[in-house]
Structure 1
Amino acid sequence: MSVDTVAATVAVRVIRRDGSVSPFDATKISVALTKAFLAVEGDGAAVSSRIHHVVAELTAQVRSSLLRHANHESALHIEQIQDLVELALMRGGHHKVARAYVLYREEHAKARGEAVEPDTSANLDWTRVEHVVAEAVAGIADVTAEPVLAETKRNVYDGIGPQELAAALIMAARTLVEQEPNYSFVTARLLLDKLRGEALSHLAGAPRLAGHDELNYPGYFRDYLARAIDLELADPRLATFNLKKITAAIRPERDLDFSFLGLQTLYDRYFLHDDGVRFELPQAFFMRVAMGLALRESEREVRAIEFYELLSSFRFMASTPTLFNAGTTRPQLSSCFLTTVDDELESIFQAYKNNALLAKYSGGLGNDWTPVRGLGAHIKGTNGKSQGVVPFLKVANDTAVAVNQGGRRKGAACAYLETWHVDVEEFLDLRKNTGDERRRTHDMNTANWVPDEFLRRVEADAEWTLFSPDETPDLHDLYGNAFAARYREYEAAADRGEVTVFRRVRAVELWRRMLTMLFETGHPWITFKDPANLRSPQQHAGVVHSSNLCTEIALNTSLDEVAVCNLGSVNLLEHVTPSGLDTERLARTVRTAVRMLDNVIDINFYTIAEARRSNLRHRPVGLGLMGFQDALFVLGLPVASQAAVDFADRSMEHLSYYAISASVELAEQRGRYESFEGSLWSKGILPIDSLRLLAEAREGDALDVDYSSTLDWDGLRERVRTSGMRNSNVMAIAPTATISNICGVGQSIEPQFQNLFVKSNMSGDFTVANPHLVRALKERGLWDEVMVSDLKYFDGSLAEIDRVPGELKRLYATAFEIDSRWLVDAASRRQKWIDQAQSLNLYVDAPSGRKLDELYRYGWHRGLKTTYYLRARAATGVEKSTLRGTDGKLNAVPAAVPEPVACRIDDPECEACQ
């Protein structure tokens, strides 16, 4: 639809600062832009001619964007329009003009604030507003109530309702976040006030409160729980807990600990609601989850309180499905499901059904499609030829789109294919934007499941043979040297004419194409079959045929068993001090966290029998971590340093030691998992020991890893061997795309993406500033408006800002400023302690074929099991937005500038696991 057509169908209204409403007039934008350009560039004839052309283009951009937004909002505030003008200038590269425009707006805003004290609505309880704002800023450094109140007064109007007033308060504080990041906490508290109003209005007879301190939380919790049960949203068994003990343990003050991004995320997607009205406050939410996880404990109240303490303090956070569904009537708490699809129509269509049922309640899917015969293979039943695996993948893609997890987030799946499959070249093209749409899967992730033999041939510049699995069926279940030997036998059989469908390619050329598609489309990811299997504790019970949606799970699958993993992550920031890792605190956290994850298995609502059978037999869990980069900031360690690599090693060693110990303790209390006998665990082979198995299979120098350790592993080996394990697998590092937002820390093991940027996810667009950097700059007297402007201009990087000391530039270097080999080194050190895998994103500035080849082969040599997204700066540059008013949207308050950044750092597809 053209801009003119939109203009004809949408009556755009503009809310002015005095509250009046007038029609939108595009000529005013042209005039303002022209004045800004003339002020900076002068008014010569040649300059004026060029300015006229540029202004016309920019005005059209602003007008188009404005009219799009007018479809969703009844009226737009004048500040929103000015934000769009500023955004157009920055996007167009007119940085000097934009800076002048910013200063002009700020000067006039200051003048308006000094000159005018606007009247407020006669029916507005301004005393309550002042109380709420005073409470919101209390105890937070470097913030005051005055600018929030002043901005609110400029936006209220006669007859404003409670919901509009709440939104105005949130908007007022949100506009201040860019200059002072601590206003994020103020904004969160104002959102909390809005939420509190919704929650109490939903409960019969609840009084209207002036502020947080007046809430009787125990009384509220009882009423909330009764209402949730009455609406059939909460499990009625929660009412049988000793609620006196439960409510006495609630810590209402922790409702004040959220950043705006964290609370907005909970508000939009997690809290229980009735027809859109939220009635679940944050501590009630955490307690509901904790009680749900303690339902089968003998000391339910004691354990629920223990679990609540861990969640509400942000020391550990369960995965999104657990947070969504614990304590509800449909407790599907597991994060990831891995399936194998057989080479029969019945199996294929059963796989679609299973995907739909598993995705319905928030599960992320990893599908192994390798057994499905390739293009041109013979079909005995019809005497015809197969169309290959790709058409079936298209249906799987559309199934994931159709089943969108109750509207809370997109359904998400990843298809895996082994590199020897004859359809692998078509598989590489699935995410391309050109070609036959019937052979494209734009919404589904894809990943290569790569055997070591292929990488050996790449490095030897040898040939590689592609087969159809109906003629080479046992390759699917073989790995290591057994795979390599059998693969060579099939090649010899092909030479003798005993294999009908095969094709020979140069291994290097196929590898280059894999990397090219990874760069161009982001898919398929590169994951390694042999390390995943040779180091699997469950080799005796089956084969790891794929990973999951986010590449951190390494569990067996078969036609009879759908692998299930239950995830949660330790917040590393809560376990470090400037002097180092707090190992005692970490041990306590991990012990409780593993118990919580083990409880998930028994409480879980299973949508298919194959998942229930597998989960109860093997009982795998995946304890991971988040906030790794934050921990490095506290310790003063640049991520691109040997000290950071060593910290990755030691912190993961402790987490691994405590997690395995916790599983042993549970085995002593509750019994071993059913398939323990015959596992590597039963032989006293721990993850650190399984590195030797991979080294033996690699032969020679194809594995370059560190074997060092610091803890008493001999004692733990003996405990594992004699007492057993409660869980077949205990560790996996997931992306934590959403739960890290809730906790206010960096995702997973990710480096800092930028130090100031707009973060986009399903809850909106949020201004994010690195709080550690801001604190450091404040200490040196360097945090001011000029620094904010410079950070925006340089895409959140300190490298080109001369007045920033070199040590800060090194410590706060962003993802594209470091060599990703440092990330691989740290991941390699972690991987030696992990029985599953880790979601490892790699960042490459100015990527080239040579860089990608060296980086991914480096990861293979360093013993990685999987890699995840490849981030290239060309595809992930942060927009040069003003960032004003872009700190969140949707239900709580509309975003002033809802344009997303070029690449969503918080990719919604990642969120299916976390």
Structure 2
Amino acid sequence: MQTDTTVAPSESRRPTPTIPAAGTAELAATAPGAVKVIRRNGKVTAFDASKIQIAMTKAFLAVEGAAAAVSAAMRQKVEALTQQVVQGLTRHISGGGTLHIEDIQDQVELALMRAGEHKVARAYVLYRDEQQRKRAAEAAAQPAAERPSLSITRDDGSVVPLDEARMRRVVTEACDGLAGVNVDEVVSAALRDLYDGMPEAELAQALTLAARARIEKEPNYTYVSARLLLDALRHEALKFLGMSETRPTFEEMKGLYADYFREYIHKAVSLELLDPKLALYDLDSLGKALLAERDGKFDYLGLQTLYDRYFIHSNKTRFELPQAFFMRVAMGLAINEIDREAKAIEFYQLLSSFDFMSSTPTLFNSGTLRPQLSSCYLTQVPDDLHGIFGAIHDNAMLSKFAGGLGNDWTPVRGMGGYIKGTNGKSNGVVPFMKVANDTAVAVNQGGKRKGAVCGYLETWHRDIEEFLELRKNTGDDRRRTHDMNTANWVPDLFMKRVMEEGQWTLFSPEETPDLHDLVGEAFEQRYVAYEKLADEGRIKNFKRMPALNLWRKMLSMLFETGHPWVTFKDPCNLRSPQQHVGVVHSSNLCTEITLNTKANQEIAVCNLGSVNLPAHVTEDGKLDTVKLEKTISTAMRMLDNVIEYNYYSVATARNSNLRHRPVGLGVMGFNDALYKLRLPYESDKAIRFADVSMEAISYYAIKASTDLAAERGRYSSFEGSLWSQGILPVDSIRILAEQRGGYIQQDTSVSGNFDWDTLRERVQTVGMRNSNCMAIAPTATIANITGVSQSIEPTYQNLYVKSNLSGEFTVVNEYLVNDLKKLGLWDEVMAHDLKYFDGSVQNIDRIPPELKDIYKCAFEIDAKRLVDAASRRQKWIDQAQSLNLYMREPSGKKLDELYKHAWVSGLKTTYYLRTMGATHAEKTTISDNRLNAVGGSNGSVTAKPAPAVAAPAAATDVGSAKVCSILDPDCEACQ
């Protein structure tokens, strides 16, 4: 009997069963052809799914007795179990890879247990234990000299003996300074997965995966995994640059980083990947400034994300290492500075510390030949064919270079609108939005992520009801935009009519051309006048309905499709510093930007970056305002530098950006900061922290912009702005309250920690460098890079699998694990419990009540408290915030109350509505390393793990609802 195959107990006493050919063929097709199996003797063979099916059949026969036949029921059961085993083994190596024989047997054992075949599973376990003891005895009796040695195939084809000493040195360096990790454990696990003649690249991968498999039971292994991944990255980069005579370890690389950096810049310039101006820097001084030890700050998800999506590459060979990456970004941002080396080093130190991170387009493109660094573009679509297709062309050009788009479609006439040129009637705005949708799909963002656009329509538009249905998965597909996000642009008057159960009238904009540019009381007066004209028959193309009916449909579609988002026109405009020179007609792709637009004249542009909030909370639980001021001062300079340095693919965008110079400084890691402060997200103290932390950021951001104005001059449209009148963001709430005439409950208090009066005076006399300073973006990918929680989001789950364009990654809440360790509660059973309860601690009896409060997950928090925290932040922000709302068990009544609460609380915008799906996490063992695969609505397990929510594009049913995905790899908010 061969002990190196997947076998059942007593197989030598059983005849080989006959397996139906069709089933075997289907299983063989399931697994990728490039998958190999490592035997215990180090030999490698092709993966053969049929062997698993044969072994499973033998296992059943061994337990059920010699007289048992391979019945149709047994055959179906075995085929189904084998299919699960194959899927479990290969879902993470669909592109090819290796499996160890023990991993295969673990999956067989797991499948039997899950199926309730406990007798078969028990016999299988006992048989494996018996065989393991035999192998151990044989190995002990074998002289050391006779034990097989392994060789490694180098990149040049040469074969050398495995250098176990270097393996151990690399792992030892990776584990240095980290508690709870074990060098021997990682080395032993990696050695098990090696085979004779293994390529050098696979050796590095085996080390990384050995550490990665242990993240679930000890979060610090995420840093071990990242440092081991770095070993492969160093080799790839140095080999490409001709510097790979030796393969340096983490410590050895510290002495080579400066030389590498110089070679990297020259090579990238020669390949026309970087701007030749970068080679004119003093590369020696910059190279000496690199802090190689900061390579150890990354967790695995952060470093893998950088490698997959951000690092400079040539023909898919990455030769940019992390500190060179940060310095490259800094060099681009400092390229127009007088003392550019000093400023590049200052910018580099801030980025590489993770205290602040620039937005994804800036990280992608700074220092390249086309440095398109801006995150967001807002456009208005005019009401004529040339203008409409000109706007779609602008979308394509802006999207090509990694810009997210927000389009204002309200000016386009509604269905039935008269067309003078043809004496015909319009088909409305929807067909043109379909073209814009398909353009976003066709023109992706530099090949790095899918093009993304959001269409906005004001609530009085004649086509608003069809607009609400754009994301439905039923109906005429020619009138659906499955890839375009949509958002309602809601005037206060509509909300008043909803609250008062009044009537609402829809108009076509060619008959009411000024409504779109009016806000507050002026809008209300003109709208009422148009209603009177409609009553008199002087406006033909209109429709009237109860406002409450339209509101209910808005909420119904939001519940069903996740769209359109609800954003509020009047607070965006009445609190805008720039209302003297234009109108905010929409927000952007992620609802945090509120800037003026005008067709053919103003394409609004915003440049984003985010402060790492927990990095500014001290160990004794205080906000470090001294450090925060220093961070924001440098960050605002970096953001302002983008404006001149930026590549503009559309001239209108350039002109607008140079005129107004808006930037958007935001925050990330808010929930992590609460963990450090020991504050539950729902608590009054947490709401207070949202207030005081945003006040500090607002104060220092405005101060930094005035300092830049003193040095560089104020922005050109400053005169007449709210800034010039001494009206700061917190002061503008009174303007909204006066215009709204009630229906607002927003806190306006200040902490007393800052001298706002002196700052107001300085703003009026010195001016501002930037028309807008603050906006809180989603930060999903840059939060991954820095290893903190996303933006202002509550923690999704305390243990889950994160899915994005870089793959699937186990994420464990380190704060929770550390707290449980202090109490002696972190063990394998606790890890199992966390998986079983989908990352929630609420049903785990051993966990103390105070920890249950602190570590509530997103769907366990009252959504109204998210709004309350957002309201406190909003009073300090001159733009808006990407605010996702979570609701475990949504209903029409709950949604009605929530969104009315958002409006009354003074919010400018909301973002996704997140609701729980009808599916649950797959419960796996701690050794399986595959978490939270989601079952379909029938309870079956899918082959690909996914979040426990449904994506709107996939039209997954959640009762009667279809809602947005928490972790959609193609979603802008998840990037």
Aligned partners of 1:696, 1:833: CA distance in 2, in Å?
Answer: 18
Aligned partners of 2:125, 2:306: CA distance in 1, in Å?
Answer: 35
Alpha-carbon contact 2:733-2:748 (below 8 Å) kept = no
**Matched position secondary structure for 1:198:** helix
Return the letter of the residue paired with 1:686: L
**Matched position secondary structure for 2:198:** coil
Alpha-carbon contact 1:336-1:913 (below 8 Å) kept = no
Q: Equivalences for 1:146-295 in 2 at 5 Å? A: 146-215=184-253, 216-295=256-335
- Confirm or deny that 1:899 pairs with 2:945: yes
- Confirm or deny that 1:575 pairs with 2:621: no
Call closer, same or farther: CA 1:514–1:94 in 2, change over 3 Å.
Answer: farther
Return the letter of the residue paired with 1:900: A
- Confirm or deny that 1:776 pairs with 2:776: no
Aligned partners of 1:36, 1:555: CA distance in 2, in Å?
Answer: 68
Q: Which moved more, 1:12-21 or 1:460-469?
A: 12-21
Alpha-carbon displacement from aligned partner over 1:418-449 (angstroms, at most 9, x marks no partner)? 11111111111111111111111111111111
Stretches of structure 2 that go unaligned for 5 or more consecutive residues are 1-21, 141-146, 152-160, 933-941, 950-964
1:593 aligned partner? 635
Q: What is the deviation of 1:379? A: 1.2
Aligned partners of 1:839, 1:26: CA distance in 2, in Å?
Answer: 50
Call closer, same or farther: CA 1:333–1:111 in 2, change over 3 Å.
Answer: farther
Call closer, same or farther: CA 1:487–1:777 in 2, change over 3 Å.
Answer: same
Match of 2:727 among 664, 672, 685: 685
Q: What is the deviation of 1:913? A: 9.7
- Confirm or deny that 1:387 pairs with 2:427: yes
Call closer, same or farther: CA 1:60–1:293 in 2, change over 3 Å.
Answer: same
Alpha-carbon contact 1:531-1:864 (below 8 Å) kept = yes
Alpha-carbon contact 1:846-1:874 (below 8 Å) kept = no
- Confirm or deny that 1:835 pairs with 2:878: yes
2:680 aligned partner? 638
Alpha-carbon contact 2:262-2:283 (below 8 Å) kept = yes
- Confirm or deny that 1:72 pairs with 2:114: no
1:564 aligned partner? 605
Aligned partners of 1:415, 1:729: CA distance in 2, in Å?
Answer: 23
Call closer, same or farther: CA 1:199–1:60 in 2, change over 3 Å.
Answer: closer
Match of 1:761 among 797, 804, 815: 804
Aligned partners of 1:856, 1:101: CA distance in 2, in Å?
Answer: 58
Q: What is the deviation of 1:408? A: 1.0
Alpha-carbon contact 1:389-1:423 (below 8 Å) kept = yes
Match of 2:166 among 122, 128, 133: 128
Match of 1:516 among 556, 580, 598: 556
Return the letter of the residue paired with 1:121: L
- Confirm or deny that 1:613 pairs with 2:655: yes
Call closer, same or farther: CA 1:80–1:233 in 2, change over 3 Å.
Answer: farther
**Matched position secondary structure for 2:717:** coil
**Matched position secondary structure for 1:874:** coil
Call closer, same or farther: CA 1:295–1:152 in 2, change over 3 Å.
Answer: same
Alpha-carbon contact 2:924-2:930 (below 8 Å) kept = no
Alpha-carbon contact 2:381-2:409 (below 8 Å) kept = yes
**Matched position secondary structure for 1:505:** strand
1:15 aligned partner? 37
**Matched position secondary structure for 1:540:** coil
Match of 1:723 among 766, 778, 787: 766
Q: What is the deviation of 1:591? A: 0.5
1:892 aligned partner? none
> Which structure would you say has the larger Rg?
2
Aligned residues: 901
2:5 aligned partner? none
Call closer, same or farther: CA 1:727–1:133 in 2, change over 3 Å.
Answer: same
Alpha-carbon displacement from aligned partner over 1:125-147 (angstroms, at most 9, x marks no partner)? 22221211111111111101111
Alpha-carbon contact 2:88-2:943 (below 8 Å) kept = no
Call closer, same or farther: CA 1:82–1:315 in 2, change over 3 Å.
Answer: farther
Q: What is the deviation of 1:24? A: 2.2
Call closer, same or farther: CA 1:477–1:128 in 2, change over 3 Å.
Answer: same
Aligned partners of 2:660, 2:765: CA distance in 1, in Å?
Answer: 18
Alpha-carbon displacement from aligned partner over 1:450-478 (angstroms, at most 9, x marks no partner)? 11111111111111111111111111111
Alpha-carbon displacement from aligned partner over 1:510-541 (angstroms, at most 9, x marks no partner)? 11111111111111111111100000000011
Alpha-carbon displacement from aligned partner over 1:479-498 (angstroms, at most 9, x marks no partner)? 11111111111111111111
Aligned partners of 2:552, 2:869: CA distance in 1, in Å?
Answer: 26
Stretches of structure 1 that go unaligned for 5 or more consecutive residues are 889-895
TM (norm. structure 1) is 0.93
Match of 1:24 among 41, 48, 56: 48
Aligned partners of 1:689, 1:499: CA distance in 2, in Å?
Answer: 40
Alpha-carbon contact 1:362-1:912 (below 8 Å) kept = no
Alpha-carbon displacement from aligned partner over 1:724-762 (angstroms, at most 9, x marks no partner)? 000000000000010000000000000011000000011
Call closer, same or farther: CA 1:280–1:887 in 2, change over 3 Å.
Answer: farther
Alpha-carbon contact 1:34-1:55 (below 8 Å) kept = no
1:822 aligned partner? 865
Q: What is the deviation of 1:52? A: 8.3
Aligned partners of 1:341, 1:740: CA distance in 2, in Å?
Answer: 33
Aligned partners of 1:682, 1:96: CA distance in 2, in Å?
Answer: 76
Aligned partners of 1:303, 1:80: CA distance in 2, in Å?
Answer: 52
Match of 1:143 among 160, 163, 181: 181
Aligned partners of 1:537, 1:885: CA distance in 2, in Å?
Answer: 51
**Matched position secondary structure for 2:803:** strand
Return the letter of the residue paired with 1:153: L
Q: Equivalences for 1:690-709 in 2 at 5 Å? A: 690-709=732-751
Call closer, same or farther: CA 1:473–1:768 in 2, change over 3 Å.
Answer: same
Call closer, same or farther: CA 1:53–1:806 in 2, change over 3 Å.
Answer: farther
Q: Equivalences for 1:789-868 in 2 at 5 Å? A: 789-868=832-911
Q: What is the deviation of 1:385? A: 1.3
Aligned partners of 1:2, 1:495: CA distance in 2, in Å?
Answer: 71
> What percent identity do the matched residue pairs reach?
60
Return the letter of the residue paired with 1:566: N
Alpha-carbon contact 2:240-2:319 (below 8 Å) kept = yes
1:893 aligned partner? none
Structure number with higher relative contact order (C-alpha < 8 Å, ≥ 6 residues apart): 1
Q: Equivalences for 1:149-548 in 2 at 5 Å? A: 149-215=187-253, 216-548=256-588
Aligned-pair RMSD on alpha carbons? 3.2
Q: Equivalences for 1:722-741 in 2 at 5 Å? A: 722-741=765-784
Return the letter of the residue paired with 1:600: V
Q: What is the deviation of 1:204? A: 2.4
**Matched position secondary structure for 2:426:** strand
Alpha-carbon contact 1:687-1:835 (below 8 Å) kept = yes
Aligned partners of 2:553, 2:219: CA distance in 1, in Å?
Answer: 44
